[in-house]
Amino acid sequence: MNKTRTTLTAYAMLLPALVLLGVFTLYPVLYNVVLSFSKYTALELGAGKGPSWVGLENYQKVFSDPLYQTGIVNSLKYLVVVPILQIFSLLVAVLVNRSLPAIAFFRAGYYIPVITSISLAAVMWEWVYAKDGMINAALQGLGVLSKTSAFGWLINENTALWAIMFVTFWQGFGYYMVLYLAGLQSIPTELDEAARLDGATKTQVFWKITVPLMKPTLMICSLLSTLAALRVLQEIMVFTGGGPVNSTYTALFYVYSKAFKEFDYGQGAAAGMGVALIGFLLSYVNYRLTRDQQVTG
Amino acid sequence: MKKSVKKVALVSLALISTGLTSSAFAQQKTQIEFWTWYLSPKFDNFIKGVIADFEKQNPNITVKWLDKQDTIERDFQATIALGQAPDVVNLWNDSTAAAVQNNLLVPITDLTPLSTLNRLYYSNVLNIFKHDSKFYGYPWYGYVDQGVMMYNSELLQKAGVSISRIRTLDDLLNASKTIKDKTGAYGWLPPVSDPNGASFLAYFYLDGLPITNASGQAVFNSPTHAALLQKYVDLMKGDYIPQDLLRKEAFQVTNELYSQGKVAFMVGGPQSLNRVRDSNKDIYSKTKITSAPLGKAKVQTGGAFSLVIPRASKHQKEAALFALFMTNNVNQVKFANVVPIVPTTKAAKNDPSFKTTSQDPIEIATARVAGTGGLINPGFASPKNTDVVYKNFNDNIQAAFLGRKTAQQALNDAVTFWNANAK
């Protein structure tokens, strides 16, 4: 009786959050699944009709569209940023996890890009990447690039995606650094001290103690950044709009264009399901690679 | 005691009856919802003023105004799906065409006699919003792409370029080369791949080259078309026009660079000068105005914004009344005196408020373009599947500019895609 009451009380407490989650997350997800198998465009909307079942037609159209394939390839390329971002954030977290003078200033400084709006960041990075911008000036100064061979980094098909990826990296590392910092500070210092007494070097301590104990944080951070990389849209819109010649056209940009520019909600939903499936698979791989293994023996 | 009860009863009765009549009056009032696109906060006073005038003339109608920005089309569809459609919506050429293709709009001739529309507006502008012989948009403010040419007289002087020699687009391109070679500043920045629309198509139209044939098939891939595209590709290769035009709107890039003294010419409407005046008074003082050079066909391109009535509107009659009021000559002239737009009403052409003896560049330019509503012409009708077709066109144009395809190949591919998808 008491247990039942406790359970009911717990659910009653959870109810408001569950309702919100159901209305704003679960329902849209389920409705998206239904839409992906339906014909529903602005034409149906204008005629006051609802979605009508078309089976796999949307999937066939979307998955055979070269533009969607380009989007998927670019989105997968974008994942390159994930390991680099995680390793760098972890190293910076280790670096600022000490009681040095003015360390709070550095921690705050690294976090500033996180709270900088993408529009503002875009203005700054456009200057950096411009044909007569900072990068080319530096490369010309070093003699790597001649004045005649200078190019706009966001205009060149071979560099545009990487240039935007670097902005994602720049904006993201402060956020993950803070998460890693929290993880590092939860590791008992006794373990570190004991290992050092046993003669372990700093590097050994890092790889044998710090990294294994940081696995839960690593899993969360790499999962978050994988999904964020897959969902990249704002940066693309602000910097290149998917160009030049679709070299920065990502899968989510395709979803957005289908649903909110062409107003083909069915195909947009099907394209979104493709992205969600990739996200799910990558999350699983991520979990398998970073899950906490029980040490036995 | 009895008296006081009577008094209370009488007062109560009076109050109740007043309440009843006022609520009955309130019930007779119709509220319409009006959406504009990117007009707030800059033009709040003007819009609110027109709404107040309208409500004064139509005491039974109230107008709820919302200004939408980049999500206007998305919000429009969402509100229709929710059964809460607005009553009057401000769209532009392509978005009006897309809304018509999706059967979202009421033909305005169902609500306003065609004779009234013909009397008020330029027929060339009305025709922009004509689809399958029906009209779907009340013409609001317009613009001309050529309009006037505003130029930095100091840069021209440094380069030794005489403005009187620039009569055609080719003259302008040649002058731009000279200016770049002699001063390092760009001359004219032509729109080549603006994110919205298919800006390069306009050059074919300006030179009198066909875009589609009588049956609507795309035909812009002749060797002459390819040569024209190649001319602009070569200009970018030689850095006579910046590569940034492949990524950003020419209007935006031109505005930024002209204000910095890095561009010599601005071609279009005088609204381009507002930013120059606010950000660099020195360059503004050196700005002179002249007629815009034209292509071989001696025509101009331009467009207009519309006020449309959604099919899903519950107050179409009142909406039409308001749309007519907002777009009438008095209010368009008022608007043109707030910001240099081109009125689409015939009567605006000879309005005395556009006559000026001022030496101020904006006032001179405004006076020149205010009466050019009769020249507004998009040059070509938006194809069906507008977004998809234009995106592919722009991708191909970009490929030509970046050397991925020859000009001929890019146009062949664009034509093939257009004819397969513009259905």
Residue B22, pLDDT score: 47
The three-state DSSP-derived secondary structure of A221-290 is HHHHHHHHHHCCCHHHHHHCCCCCCCCCCCHHHHHHHHHHCCCEHHHHHHHHHHHHHHHHHHHHHHHHHH
Contact B193 A243 (CB under 8 A): yes
Percent of all residues in chain A with a pLDDT value above 90, rounded to a whole number:
66
Residue A189, pLDDT score: 85
Domains of chain A: 38-103+173-292 (1.10.3720.10)
Residue A245, pLDDT score: 92
Domains of chain B: 30-144+302-377 (3.40.190.10), 148-300+381-420 (3.40.190.10)
Which pLDDT band holds residue A293 (cuts at 50, 70, 90)? low
Residue B186, pLDDT score: 97
Contact B395 A42 (CB under 8 A): no
Q: How many CB atoms lie within 10 A of CB A203?
A: 8
Average pLDDT over residues A80-105: 88
Distance between CA A235 and CA A241 in Å, rounded? Answer: 9
**A297 has pLDDT over 80:** no
Classify residue B192 by its DSSP letter: S
Return the residue in A38, A126, A245 with the most chain B beta carbons within 10 A, the one to mutate for interface testing: A245
Which residues are CB-contacts of A148 (< 8 A; sequence separation ≥ 6)? Answer: none
Yes or no: say if B54 and B71 are a contact pair by the CB < 8 Å rule: no
Residues in chain A: 297
Nearest C-alpha of chain B: how many angstroms from A272? Answer: 17
Distance between CA A31 and CA A22 in Å, rounded? Answer: 12
Q: How far is CA A273 from the centre of its chain?
A: 17
Residue B197, pLDDT score: 82
Residue A119, pLDDT score: 87
Yes or no: say if B49 and B337 are a contact pair by the CB < 8 Å rule: no
Distance between CA B149 and CA B147 in Å, rounded? Answer: 7
Residue A211, pLDDT score: 87
Residue of A nearest to B95 (CA): A261
Contacts by residues A165-169 (CB-CB < 8 Å, ≥ 24 positions apart): A165/A78, A165/A80, A165/A81, A167/A121, A167/A122, A167/A125, A167/A235, A167/A239, A168/A78, A168/A81, A168/A85, A168/A228, A168/A229, A168/A232, A168/A235, A169/A81, A169/A84, A169/A85, A169/A88
Which residue in the set B99, B312, B398 is minimally distant from A244, CB to CB?
A: B398
Give the pair of three-digit tokens for residue A183: 């993880």
Reduced to 3 states (helix: H, G, I; strand: E, B; else coil), residue A90 is helix
β-bridge pairing B61-68 and B30-37:
parallel
Which residue in the set A155, A245, A262 is minimally distant from B388, CB to CB?
A: A262
More confident: B298 or A272: A272
Return the residue in B243, B248, B262, B404 with the most chain A beta carbons within 10 A, the one to mutate for interface testing: B243
Residue B20, pLDDT score: 45
Residue A296, pLDDT score: 41
Residue of B nearest to A247 (CA): B395
Yes or no: say if B179 and B186 are a contact pair by the CB < 8 Å rule: yes
Contact A151 B81 (CB under 8 A): no
Yes or no: say if A110 and A97 are a contact pair by the CB < 8 Å rule: no
Yes or no: say if B177 and B187 are a contact pair by the CB < 8 Å rule: yes
Residue A283 burial by Cβ neighbours in a 10 Å radius (0-12, 13-18, 19+)? middle
CA dihedral B403, B409, B410, B414 (to 10 degrees): -170
Contact B73 A243 (CB under 8 A): no
Residue B27, pLDDT score: 55
pLDDT averaged per 10 residues in sequence order, chain B, 423 residues:
51 47 59 96 96 97 95 91 93 90 94 96 94 95 90 96 94 97 96 86 94 92 98 95 91 93 93 88 94 90 94 96 97 92 92 85 87 86 87 95 96 97 85
More confident: A72 or B6: A72
Residue A295, pLDDT score: 43
Yes or no: say if B361 and B141 are a contact pair by the CB < 8 Å rule: no
Yes or no: say if B315 and B114 are a contact pair by the CB < 8 Å rule: no
**A275 has pLDDT over 90:** yes
Residue of A nearest to B238 (CA): A148
Mean residue pLDDT of chain A comes to 90
Residues of B in contact with A239 (CB under 8 A): 247
More confident: A84 or A132: A84
A–B CB contacts, 8 A cutoff, strictly below: 71
Residues of B in contact with A241 (CB under 8 A): 195, 247
pTM over 0.95: no
Return the residue in A68, A155, A265 with the most chain B beta carbons within 10 A, the one to mutate for interface testing: A155
